[in-house]
Structure 1
């Protein structure tokens, strides 16, 4: 018993020291400071290894658990603020990032299977709030979120009925075919659009299925333009987006209506506003204004009234004489045009340039509408001036045509004027005469010596089967590109197209595929007579040894298979295509590029029914006597001469001379009728209204600007009349049609 108590007494100081250390560690962890108890208080006796002091003295505190751990792991418990490290029991959830992708979306206004035609149409759609925009879509969006984002960027889609679909285009440049982007059971998703657009690299086209969106220009404060950067027009002060400012600057006409402060008077150049009396105010020295009446006189060229003082200046620049039909069309256009008011400068083009001519059923009327709208669009561009010296040789004249139509970066729909050096004729009749000369050069050839002959034709072959010449020098000089510009430029000013081309060539020129062109080939399309005869041998049921050798030589020279008993039909098509299309593909591409330069390519693609107008058959452009007689407006009453003091022509003489003219037309050949039309109006193109006047003069005279033919009244026999008419018609090549 005594032994047990002595063991308990010996272990008691050790337990007490352990208790003290544990308490200090807990207090240290709880942020409290614990004082070390005295040995007398804790155990009632001194602890070994410690000095004994008074009752107020304390024992040095033992090291804490943190201090002990700091000695053992200094790299973990290096700072007092650091706590124990390790995994937390509950970690904070990490924020998830939603990926997005930017797509190029192009909204089209109507159902179509092709991409937009040109940059002009893209600018037109931009003014209507459609066209191309960049849209950011999230990867977790469904069809409803995508549709809401589209409606936010394109507000016009909110009113669209009938549904829409996404389309994508095939590779390449120019106008391409559209293929639909199939949607899943839940509609369009992010993954569907991302795969169809190759991660946003390709454009997605949004096409309405049933309804058409309006392409009317929107006001500049529309929601579609809210995010676009804007600037003020320096002419009219209107705030508009940068994208539309370039178009507005070209057509802003504010300066045209503002008079210069340095001008003392304003001369009115509009003959419609000219009255029988014009008041011209002059300021006297006393500061008083007096009115002086100025009488108007008629311009002999355009038949418009101008003040007497202004008539000499107007006559020096007059060349815009119009016939009755053109005058009526201009008056109708002026009545239907929108009056310029403060606002968007393209308000006058509220009707889209393509809407009227695309919906017109008559192809001729569609061409006329397209021509008028394009000329109106470029009416303020710098004038194109072509000067021909009538005293030059034919080679020099042809060189003038080539230099003019080979110029690059030219707006061919700009106002066009022609000048004939050595001829007093001016006006639109001269323009028609020069354009007729240029078109005639395309069929007959230019007088340039390229090493083979003095006359170099661009097209060769027989009637209605003309194909581009195979001469390599013509392709290197890009003369076929010049030919395309001549065709388009002649079309702008109401001329006829290029007649007599092969149907296969016309198919390729108007954007057709090669298979359709091959199907339209005939043996007459081969311009080389020797090759034509050789290829035609394959149509014979049996060939002689000499004929087989002849065909085989041609096949080997063109790297084609030689004939056998089963491949005659196939070999015939291969040789025919090689002779016509393969050798003429580069010239056809150059002509097509020239047509695109003039701006008529949208009409060619959109209206296949106008192809026969641009490239007619020879028989359709030939003049007939009956058609020409029906278009003549015969004089119904006594015609006065140009001089007021002369006596009027008797009705008997008028009837006699007009009868001679009718007989001359009825007996004339197509070649003579063509020359007569050139003499009468300036070109051989059929005209709806022709006017005849019988006057007191010596020889026949043609006022081409007014479509008027003046015949002398002194003819008593048809023989004398015919001789003078033949003499007058012979002057169209050397002069302008005056004797």
Structure 2
């Protein structure tokens, strides 16, 4: 500041870690004094800023030979033989390459040019393009069998004629998307939740929002209150399974086979519940949970693009009961008098033109737009939450690859054949009485699953997905590629429960969802009637980590 002219004043920030607007510290009649600065600093803990009035402070580093460093200890760099202060040498040695003569510089430059021009090139087996040997490793990290990598050019600050190239990967299939999301999970940290099994999804969403000390991008770990289960993967999948199902029933409405719209709720919107729902959807896809395949087509398109195509909306996209009934009454009106019976509701939907039979289509369109566009704030919150793991970017890159994860009709539900084909029984030696009994129990299991599948519509009977969730913690077919390849249900058989436990009436199958293992008590499953009764009770009452 020796050469600073034009005067200066001291300023200070009023909180906010220096991010708020600076205010001037007014000097006294004789200028700044220790007493005045101490009073302005509230105990000597404030940071003051020197603000010139007519000039700009020069903040460029001083040269190493500046007189201000004359009293500092100096050392010589081994590479360039230049002496400089120690604090500057610590930075200098990281970039110093030594001094070369002009002849050596030209000679080395020509050698490097010859090496670049004559370097061995390698053909990438995926994209069949040639790359230098020392660049093929970097290229392999961008070019994969699962992604189409294109290069986009963005303007560089160095000049208008130079451009920086950045790779943008486009997923080709649903497995590519899931593979990408799985690798975005931060497995070095944990996102722990302790929830009550009975109060999902509201308690789950509340605990998710309250977890400020950890990020939902970390590996999810779940503990159910009052249960001794330790989460090694099964509890997480069970929690995500119950949460996605509960979210569908609690926050969405509409016919399941056509997809659902978010329920209009200002309370949930103000509490940012829909943003948390978006995060849970992304976490479910990335960490082995079920896909939220219950959205209507127009909702999915909005999540991909952030915009609504108003011209593509129709009355089939309306899901709330009041609007559907109003559309039906307008559509079934035979004369203008019938239309006038609904005039208040029609006007509340934003329709301001004449209410006549000739304007019936316009009236219906006004109802459709009113019912759908008011849901945009909810969808915006969901989209914001789905930015977790970069899911929104993947959806925007290839909407078709992600469509089956959000729109119903593409995801196959588990059936009896799926469970039986993935069962891996540990039979006793073939030909023995134990082996024959064990095979009979597996046949009972197949009969039970097929019977459940045929009575899937009955409310008092468990469905096949419920049986699968009882066995493995999840009610869906595995989505992640690695889990799909290694999915097996191990079936063990207990022949000695009476010898261990004495005389008792009944034993239920023991399930280890973490290892996907089921142990059947052979001595209590002698007939199919006993098997069906015991299995039905076990599936109905054995959801927690305790013996039924």
Q: How high is the TM-score relative to the length of structure 1? A: 0.46
Q: 1:520 to 1:606 in 2, by over 3 A?
A: same
Looking at structure 2, the residues matched to 525 and 539 of structure 1 have their Cα atoms a distance apart, in angstroms, of 14
Q: 1:595 to 1:551 in 2, by over 3 A?
A: same
Q: Counterparts in 2 of 1:648-687, with a 5 A limit?
A: 650-669=434-453, 670=456, 671-687=462-478
Contact residue 657 and residue 694 of structure 1 kept, 8 A: no
CA pair 566-348 structure 1, distance change in 2 beyond 3 A: same
Matches within 5 A, 1:199-214: none
1:484, CA displacement in angstroms?
0.3
Q: Is the 8 A contact 1:638 1:654 kept in 2?
A: no
- 2:268 maps to 1:507: no
The corresponding residue for 1:604 is 395
Deviation of 1:386 (Å)? 1.1
Q: Is 1:693 the counterpart of 2:492 in the alignment? A: yes
Which residue does the alignment assign to 2:316?
Answer: 523
**Partner Cα distance (1:543, 1:511) in 2:** 40
TM-superposed CA distance for 1:543, in Å, is 2.1
Cross-structure match for 2:220: 416
Q: How far apart in 2 are the matches of 1:622 and 1:231? A: 66
Aligned 8 A contact 1:504 1:521 in 2: no
Distance 1:383 1:348, change over 3 A: farther
1:587 Cα deviation (Å)? 0.3
> Which secondary structure state, in structure 2, belongs to the residue aligned with residue 387 of structure 1?
strand
Q: Secondary structure at the match of 1:615?
A: coil
**1:494 and 2:288 correspond:** yes
Q: Partner residue of 2:63?
A: none
Q: How does 1:216-231 map to 2 (within 5 A)?
A: none
Deviation at 1:659, TM superposition (A): 0.7
Structure 1 residues 598 and 373: alpha-carbon distance in aligned structure 2, compared to 1, 3 A threshold: closer
1:725 aligned residue: 535
1:468 partnered with 2:257: no
Aligned pairs, number? 370
Give me the whole-angstrom Cα distance separating, in 2, the residues matched to 1:597 and 1:659: 44
2:147 is equivalent to residue 358 of structure 1: yes
| Equivalent-residue separation in structure 2 for 1:354 and 1:574 (angstroms) | 48
RMSD, aligned CA: 3.4
Once the 2 structures are TM-superposed, how far is the Cα of residue 524 of structure 1 from its aligned partner? 6.0
Q: Tell me the SS of whatever aligns to 2:340.
A: helix
Matched, 1:425 2:229: yes
CA contact (8 A) 1:502 1:525 kept: no
Residue in 2 aligned with 1:713? 522
Contact kept in structure 2, 1:693 and 1:708, CA below 8 Å = yes
Q: Could you tell which deviates more after superposition, 545-554 or 655-664?
A: 545-554
**Which residue of 2 is the match for residue 441 of structure 1?**
246
Determine the structure 1 residue equivalent to 2:275. 481
Alignment partner, residue 576 of structure 1: 368
SS of the equivalent of 1:675 reads helix
Distance in 1, Cα, partners of 2:248 & 2:172: 28
1:522 to 1:421, Cα distance in 2 relative to 1, 3 A: same
- What secondary structure does 2:382 align onto? helix
Task: Give the Cα–Cα distance (whole angstroms) in 1 for the partners of residues 420 and 264 of structure 2.
Answer: 42
Deviation at 1:553, TM superposition (A): 2.5
Change (3 A) 1:531 1:577: same
For the 8 Å contact 1:551–1:563, the answer to whether it is kept is: no
Corresponding residue SS for 2:374: helix
Deviation at 1:555, TM superposition (A): 2.2
Q: Deviations over 1:495-527 (max 9, x none)?
A: 221132222212212226422x65254436331
Question: 1:384·1:416 contact (CA, 8 Å) conserved in 2?
Answer: yes
Please give the alpha-carbon distance, in whole angstroms, between the structure 2 residues aligned to 1:371 and 1:653.
45
CA distance in 1, matches of 2:95, 2:511: 52
In 1, Cα distance between the equivalents of 2:90 and 2:184?
Answer: 28
Match of 2:413 among 608, 622, 633: 622
For 2:194, the equivalent position in structure 1 comes to: 387
- Partner SS for 2:264: coil
The DSSP-based 3-state class of the residue aligned with 1:567 is helix
Runs of 4+ residues over 6 Å off in structure 1 = 230-233, 347-350
In the alignment, the residues of structure 1 paired with residue 192 and residue 211 of structure 2 have an alpha-carbon distance, to the nearest angstrom, of 12
SS at match of 2:541: coil
Are the counterparts in 1 of residues 274 and 381 from structure 2 also a CA contact under 8 Å? yes
C-alpha displacement of 1:365: 2.2
Task: Name stretches of at least 5 consecutive residues in structure 1 with no aligned partner.
Answer: 1-229, 242-346, 445-456, 640-647
2:366 maps to 1:589: no
Secondary structure of the equivalent of 2:290? coil
The 8 Å contact of residues 701 and 709 in structure 1, kept in 2 or not, is answered as yes
Change (3 A) 1:629 1:548: same
Deviation at 1:534, TM superposition (A): 1.9
Higher RCO, Cα 8 Å, sep 6+: 2
Q: Which has the larger radius of gyration?
A: 1
Counterpart-to-counterpart distance in 1, 2:298 and 2:381:
16
Check conservation: 1:465, 1:525, Cα contact below 8 A: no
SS of residue matched to 1:384: strand
Shift of 1:683: 1.4
